[in-house]
Amino acid sequence: MERRQFLLSATGWGATKLIGMGGMVAVARAASGTANVDFDPAFQSWTLQNDVFRAVLRLNQSTGQLQLEELRDLSNNDFWRLPSLAGSFPIDVELDDGTRLSVESRFLLTGQSTTAIDRNGRALTLELSEEGSPLKLTVEFQIFPGQPVLRHQVTITNRLGVTVNVRKANFLAWQFADEGQKFTAYAVHQWVLVPREANFDPVETPLVAGAPAWSVTTGSGGAYCAWLAVRDSQQRGLFAGLEFNGRADFSVRQANGRITLGAEVKSLYHPLRPGEAMVLPAAMIGLFRGDWDEAGYRTQRYVEAAVAAVVPDNNFPYVAWDSWGYLEEINEDVLRRNARIAANLGMELFIVDLGWANALGDWTPDPDKFPNGFRALSDFVHDLGMKFGLHFAFSEADPDSPVLQSNPDWTSSETYNFHGGLSLCLGHQPCRDWIIEQGVNLVRNYRVDWILQDGQTLVKQCTKTTHTHHPENSNWANSEQGLDVIVSEIRRRTGVLWENCANGGSMMTYKMARNYVTSITNDASGSLGSRQGAYGATFPFPPRFSDRYMPDQDLNVYTTRSFMFGGPWIFMNRLPELTPADLALALREIGIYKSIRTNVRDGRVSHLTARPALGQVDALQSYTASGDTALAVVTREEARSNSYTLRFRDLTPTRSYLVRFETSPARFILTGAQLMNVGVVVPLPDQQSAEIVYVEPAP
Ligand SMILES: [Zn+2]
C-alpha cells in the first residue's frame, strides 16, 4: 500500500478545519469524491466524513473509553448511535491470563495520525494503551469517497518481556441503540454439501429481543458468506462484512435496548512473543435504507471501490474454457484442438484443469501428456490471443509425491481426501514457503496468467505439535499465516490473477475478495443450480464473484443464459465434438454475454423474483444509472405458463423506454411507471426457456 503519511500531534492537526468556540467544531462539508478526518481536541473526538456518510468516534475523557458515537447517512439523515449507558468498541480480545481488551477498557491515547490510503481513502490511526495491560492497541479506521461504510482493523502488540497467548478475538464488536425498533436479519449460505446441501440460499430471520444471538459460521468450510444485514421496520439498515478466511462465528443480537454485532475467531490460541504484533482481521460496517437488494448494492459498490482485487481489464468477467470435461484425460493434442476452437468462439481464457501434473504435490507437467513441453502449450494458447490458466491444488499432495517422501510431517493432522491426496498444513512455515516457491516457478516457467485454486477446504485443521504453529491455533495459522500469505505472495511476485475455488464457493469472505478476482459459486451443478448460486451470491458479492462452470451438455439458450448473469462464464464442453449448429449458437451467445457483462458487473442487481426453483420463473435485473438502462435475464423452469409478466425496478417513472428482447422480435414503448407497476409480458414458449429483456430510454 502506497501511503503518504501526515503525522499529527496528540492535540491537534494543522489541516483540520476547526472553529474553536467552546470546543465546537464545524466540519466542512466534504466535497464529492473526498474523504476527510477531523479531530476535535476539546472533545477528544474524531469525525470521519465523505459526501454521503459520517462516523464519529470519541475518547471519553472521564471514563477513558473509546466509543463509536454515531454513524450517519448524510443522504437521508438515518443514524445509528451509541446505546445509552453502554459503550461501543470495535474488538473484544482475551488473553489466557484473563487480561481482556473490550468496551470496558480504559485507554490512554498515546498517538494519532491520519493518512491518505489507496483508492482515495482516508485512514485514522489511534495508538491506545491501558494501564497495567500487557497489550498496546493500534486501531485504524478507514473511509472512502461515496461509500457509506466504516472499515476498521486493530493491531495488538505485546509490550511485555514474556510471551502472552491470545485466546479469544472478537474483531467486530460494535453495538448500537435499537431505538425500540423490531429488526430482521439477512444472510446468505455458501456452497455447502454437508450436513445438507446449500447453494447460496438466503436466510431471513426476525430478531427476538432478549433471545440468544443469531450466529452463523463463516470462512473456509463455514455455512455462510461473511456478510450480515439487519434492518428495522422503518427500512433503516446496517450491513457488516468480515475480511477473514478462517472460520468465525458471525452474530447479531438484540437485547437490553441494543443491537450487538460479533465476529469471533474460532479456536484461537495465538502466542505473542515480546514485541510481537497480531493484526486482527479487518471488518466493515455500512448503512443502507430499503430492501436487501439495496443492502447488497451498497455492499457491492464498497467492495469494488475499496476492498476487492481490481478488475483486470474491461473484458472482465471473461468467457473461459476449462478442460474438466475430459476429467484428467488431457494431453497436448486434445488441448490444442480445443484451444483453436475456443479462440474462434471468442473465448479469452483457457484453463488446464486437474491432470496436467505428474501428481498432486508434484507440480511438474506430465512429460507423457506434454511431449513438447508445457511452455509450448502455453505459448500456443497465448498466440491464439487467450490467457493461459492453470489448476493448482497446492494444499494437497499425493502420498508418493517427492515433497511428502522428503517431508512426511508436512501433512495436516486432518486430511480431506482430495483425489486421493493427503492434505498439507499451510500453517507450517516450511511447507508454506515451499508452496510459494512452487507457485512462483509455475507462473514464471509456463507464463501462467490465471490460477484456478482448488482443494478440499483450504483452511485445514491441524493439531500437530511438530509444526511451527501452536497445536491449538490451526484455524488462524492455516488462514492468516498460511493460505493468505501464499496467495498474496505469489500474486505480489508474479502479478498472476487468482480464482477462488475451495471445494466450490465455500470461502466467500471479503479477505477472499481482496486476493482473488473472482470466485466459483457452486461446483458444476447444472443450469438451475447455476442460477440459484448467482441469485444468492449477488447479495453479498459483486456479480463478477459468481463464476460458474457449464457442464458438457447439449447447448441451447436455456442453458447458456443460465450462466450469463455475473461471471466469468466457463465452458467445459468438449469443443471438437460440438455440431456446427452448437458452435454457431455458442458464438452468438458469447457475443450476447460480451455485450452485457460490463453493465452487469458495474450495475445494480435486483432480484425480481423468488430464488430460482422448479415450477417457477426466475429473473435477475441489472440497472445502469449512467444511461438509465436495465436488462433482465428471465428463465422458465418448467413453470405452467408460457409467458411471464416481468416488473422492472429502479426506472424513471415518467420516462418512455424502448423494450426489446434478445429472442422475441417484439418491441414496445412503455413508461417507467408502466414497466415497474404493470410490467411487460415476456414470452417463454418452452418448459425450459430463457429470454433477455432490454430497457433503454426511447429515442
Ligand atoms: Zn500443522
DSSP string, 65-134: -EEEEEEEETTT--EEEPPTT----S-EEEETTS-EESTT---EEEEEEEEEETTTEEEEEEEEE-TT-S
Between the CA of 163 and the centroid of ligand 1 the distance, in Å, is 21
Rounded to whole angstroms, the Cα distance separating 394 from 458 reads: 9
Between the CA of 245 and the centroid of ligand 1 the distance, in Å, is 17
| Three cell numbers written together for 642 | 408460457
Between the CA of 235 and the centroid of ligand 1 the distance, in Å, is 46
Burial 88-105 (b: 16+ CB within 10 A, else e): bbbbbbbbeeebbbebeb
Partners of 429 in beta bridges: none
Between the CA of 353 and the centroid of ligand 1 the distance, in Å, is 27
Would you say 260 and 252 are in contact if contact means Cβ atoms under 8 Å apart?
yes
| Three cell numbers written together for 205 | 430471520
Between the CA of 481 and the centroid of ligand 1 the distance, in Å, is 11
Residue 248 C-beta-side C-alpha neighbours within 13 Å: 35
Grouped pLDDT means (10 residues each) for the chain, 699 residues:
30 31 35 85 96 97 93 97 92 95 95 96 97 93 98 97 97 97 98 91 98 98 97 97 98 97 98 97 98 98 98 97 97 98 98 98 98 97 98 98 98 94 98 98 98 95 98 98 98 98 94 98 89 98 97 90 97 96 98 98 98 98 98 98 98 98 98 98 98 97
Rounded to whole angstroms, the Cα distance separating 196 from 420 reads: 24
Q: What pLDDT score does 523 carry?
A: 81
Domains of the chain in start order, with CATH, are: 4-307 (2.70.98.60), 319-395+430-461+496-600 (3.20.20.70), 605-697 (2.60.40.1180)
How far is the first Cα of the chain from the last one, in angstroms, to the nearest whole number? 46
Between the CA of 433 and the centroid of ligand 1 the distance, in Å, is 14
Would you say 547 and 518 are in contact if contact means Cβ atoms under 8 Å apart?
yes
Residue type, 671: T
Closest to 232 (Cα-Cα) out of 183, 185, 287, 288: 183
Between the CA of 222 and the centroid of ligand 1 the distance, in Å, is 20
Between the CA of 268 and the centroid of ligand 1 the distance, in Å, is 14
Between the CA of 270 and the centroid of ligand 1 the distance, in Å, is 14
Rounded to whole angstroms, the Cα distance separating 208 from 252 reads: 11
Residue 692 CA, distance from chain mean position: 27
Would you say 105 and 90 are in contact if contact means Cβ atoms under 8 Å apart?
no
Between the CA of 427 and the centroid of ligand 1 the distance, in Å, is 6
Between the CA of 165 and the centroid of ligand 1 the distance, in Å, is 18
Between the CA of 413 and the centroid of ligand 1 the distance, in Å, is 7
Between the CA of 289 and the centroid of ligand 1 the distance, in Å, is 45
Between the CA of 399 and the centroid of ligand 1 the distance, in Å, is 17
Between the CA of 265 and the centroid of ligand 1 the distance, in Å, is 18
Which residue, chain included where needed, has cell 418491441? Answer: 667
Helix, strand, coil percentages for the chain (3-state, nearest 5):
20, 35, 40
Rounded to whole angstroms, the Cα distance separating 137 from 143 reads: 20
Between the CA of 412 and the centroid of ligand 1 the distance, in Å, is 5
Between the CA of 416 and the centroid of ligand 1 the distance, in Å, is 14
Rounded to whole angstroms, the Cα distance separating 220 from 245 reads: 6
Between the CA of 73 and the centroid of ligand 1 the distance, in Å, is 45
Between the CA of 629 and the centroid of ligand 1 the distance, in Å, is 52
Between the CA of 431 and the centroid of ligand 1 the distance, in Å, is 9
- Its pTM stands at 0.94
Between the CA of 482 and the centroid of ligand 1 the distance, in Å, is 10
Between the CA of 95 and the centroid of ligand 1 the distance, in Å, is 22
Between the CA of 387 and the centroid of ligand 1 the distance, in Å, is 35
Between the CA of 478 and the centroid of ligand 1 the distance, in Å, is 8
Helix (H) or strand (E) holding 299: helix 292-302
Rounded to whole angstroms, the Cα distance separating 94 from 169 reads: 7
Between the CA of 465 and the centroid of ligand 1 the distance, in Å, is 8
- What DSSP string describes 451-492? EEE--S-SS-----SSSSS-TT-HHHHHIIIIIHHHHHHHHH
Between the CA of 434 and the centroid of ligand 1 the distance, in Å, is 14
Which residue, chain included where needed, has cell 483540520? Answer: 16
Find all residues with CB under 8 Å of 626, minimum gap 6, and list them: none
Would you say 410 and 431 are in contact if contact means Cβ atoms under 8 Å apart?
yes
Would you say 431 and 409 are in contact if contact means Cβ atoms under 8 Å apart?
no
Closest to 679 (Cα-Cα) out of 668, 687, 692, 690: 668
Between the CA of 428 and the centroid of ligand 1 the distance, in Å, is 5
Report CA dihedral (172, 173, 177, 183) to the nearest 10 degrees: 60
Between the CA of 463 and the centroid of ligand 1 the distance, in Å, is 6
What Å distances lie between residue 447 and 337, 375, 443, 499, 547, CA to CA? 20, 7, 5, 16, 23
Output DSSP code: residue 307.
I
Between the CA of 425 and the centroid of ligand 1 the distance, in Å, is 5
Between the CA of 691 and the centroid of ligand 1 the distance, in Å, is 51
Between the CA of 193 and the centroid of ligand 1 the distance, in Å, is 25
Rounded to whole angstroms, the Cα distance separating 651 from 627 reads: 11
| Three cell numbers written together for 380 | 500456443
